[in-house]
Amino acid sequence: MPFNMNLWKIDHNELKEVPKSRLDSEERLENWIAHDSNITGLDILLIGRQVVTFYGGRIDLLGMDSEGNLVILELKKDKTPRDVVAQTLDYASWIKDLTYKQIEAITMNYLKCSLKDAFADKFLTDIPEEINKNHSIVIIASELDSSSERIVHYLSSEYDMNINCIFFDFFKEGNQEFLGRSWLMDPEDIADRTESKKSAPWSGLYFVNVGDGKHRSWEDCKEYSFLSAGQGSKYSGPMKKLKVGDKVLAYLKGKGYVGFGEITSAAVLAKDFKLSNNTLLFDNELKQPNIQENKDDPELADWTVGVRWFKTFERENALTKPGIFANQNIVCKLRHQPTIDFLSSHYAIKQD
């Protein structure tokens, strides 16, 4: 059924509905996304706007995710719902064959810098050697008709296409404007399902970046049995999704794998994390006390999960070899079988 969003404000402990309004120009929404793509909830680098295809079409916004995959963002604007679905599929048929050189040209035209530099600035890591292996489609609208929603659901569920819709609703009360966002389907579920069809089965193991550096150290994680991430919700968000019982392999950037363990407690603000002796983490002597930075701000603070380490290694003895799986994401599902086989000989990992 068509999506509908409502918004209430709390006034003297009473709920008052904020009137829904019509956005006077969808170009405003495109401008907002172009200025800050985070409002979509996607961690992407925008590399192009109004990108002209070889077929004469214009992609509203073109992005790239941290894996080097392209993301089409198309606003419904004045197009009919079915037209916008068909149009994005046409765009997808074009971008799937774009070469590095062509993507570089699009980036240079929009950002006035190289793709390599823009990627490194956004994701704080080098661009993957191979890019554009996969792509995704995001239709942006205030609403879609039931038929179009069924088409998007069908393409996603039956053909494992990474396609979804973001709904933005506009509200106005006096001179105050509000923007609300929701998804047609859970984007992570779609990404996982799409990835599982194109990749090896999931091992049941999670890859976790230790984040060793200015705000935390591997030595602290090892001694006090935790992992954490923060100083921005895009970093702490993945940590919050780890559940008790999840098996994790800790990776130290530039070194290798340093620990294998099991999550023992769900994520909490680092300032509230208690050790097995019932003391707070911050009451202990830490090698990297900067983990306490922004400790009272839920959006910026570190979020911490407890870990029972089965086996750990010092940083100088980290496990690595040529071709081992490494990723800039904070948390991701480990599917790379050569890496799992290599680590299993050191960590006694039980594989199904």
Q: What is the pLDDT of residues 87-110, one digit of tens each?
A: 999 999 999 999 999 999 999 999
CATH architecture of 205-347: Roll (3.10)
> What pLDDT does residue 22 have?
84
pLDDT at 1 over 60: no
Average pLDDT of 193-203?
A: 66
Do the beta carbons of residue 82 and residue 147 sit within 8 Å? Answer: yes
How far apart CA 45 and CA 64 sit, in angstroms, is: 5
- Taking the domains of the chain in order of start, what are their residue ranges? 8-197, 205-347
Fold annotation for 8-197: Trna Endonuclease; Chain: A, domain 1 (3.40.1350)
Q: What is the tens place of the pLDDT at every residue in 165-191?
A: 999 999 999 989 999 999 998 887 777
> What pLDDT does residue 76 have?
85
pTM of the model: 0.71
Q: What is the tens place of the pLDDT at every residue in 256-308?
A: 999 999 999 999 999 999 999 999 999 999 999 999 999 999 989 999 999 99
> What pLDDT does residue 128 have?
84
Three-state secondary structure call for residue 8: strand
How far apart CA 124 and CA 240 sit, in angstroms, is: 21
**Which residues make Cβ contacts (< 8 Å) with residue 67, sequence separation at least 6?**
128, 133, 134
> What pLDDT does residue 196 have?
57
Do the beta carbons of residue 211 and residue 247 sit within 8 Å? Answer: no
Percentage of the chain exceeding pLDDT 70: 94
Three-state secondary structure call for residue 242: coil
Q: What is the tens place of the pLDDT at every residue in 135-172?
A: 999 999 888 888 888 999 999 988 889 999 999 999 99
Do the beta carbons of residue 90 and residue 101 sit within 8 Å? Answer: no
> What pLDDT does residue 143 have?
80
pLDDT at 342 over 60: yes
How far apart CA 236 and CA 250 sit, in angstroms, is: 16
Question: Which among 18, 15, 13, 5 is positioned nearest to 174, based on CA atoms?
Answer: 18
How far apart CA 287 and CA 44 sit, in angstroms, is: 33
How far apart CA 127 and CA 168 sit, in angstroms, is: 31
